[in-house]
Amino acid sequence: MRTPKMAGVLALFYPDSNNNTHFLLTLRKTYKGVHSNQIAFPGGKAEKIDENIMITALRETEEEVGVPTASIGILKELTQVYIPPSNFIVSPFIGLSIGELSFKLQEDEVEKIVEVPLLDLLDDKKIFTKKITTSYAEDVDVPAFKLNGYTVWGATAMMLSEVKDLIKQVI
């Protein structure tokens, strides 16, 4: 196996103008690559300038959606996820911003910002099973979320499941 690349992503929670909690996903641009046109958390590949993988997640979030690093508090690191098609180990983090946010997307990487109400994540009716074919398996049933009209599956769905489980432990 090739040495995996490291990446950091951020599940960023924040209030909207009515003080309802939302979290942020992005729709990636269409490009020639295994993660083209997928829904994902903001984040990306670690760079040599990053002191650690948390800094990567914060830096990439600021680059991709324009949320200043200084306005985000990191609450918890989640379980790392290995993504075979792209050979990445992804370290996800839960972050919180206490103020209403404005976004500026990085147009060469992000097609659209998807703001999801927290209540939608907690709604068990938003979870279903999707049959997919990947580079390493055919017709596999995977858990997925239907959020804002988008199907969220794969590593992002795995991370969302962990976030949902953590939140349900405290509410």
- Rounded CA-CA distance 29/37 in Å is 5
- Rounded CA-CA distance 36/33 in Å is 5
- Rounded CA-CA distance 66/51 in Å is 20
Each residue's pLDDT tens digit, 151-162 = 998 889 999 999
- Report residue 35's pLDDT band, with 50, 70 and 90 as the boundaries: very low
Q: Which residue has the tokens 């909207």?
A: 16
Each residue's pLDDT tens digit, 90-118 = 999 999 999 889 999 998 889 999 999 99
5-170 placed in CATH 3.90.79.10: yes
Q: Which helix (H) or strand (E) covers residue 76, if one does?
A: strand 73-77
Name which of 105, 122, 135 is nearest 27 in CA terms: 105
- The pLDDT score that the predictor gives to residue 36 is 47
Q: Where are the domains of the chain?
A: 5-170
- Rounded CA-CA distance 79/92 in Å is 7
Residue by residue, DSSP assigns 115-157 as EEEHHHHH-GGGEEEEEE--SS-SSEEEEEEEETTEEE-HHHH
Q: State pTM to two decimals.
A: 0.90
Q: Phi then psi for 137, rounded to 5 degrees?
A: -160, 150
Q: What percent of the chain has pLDDT over 70?
A: 92
22 DSSP 8-state letter: E
Coil, strand or helix: which one is 107? coil
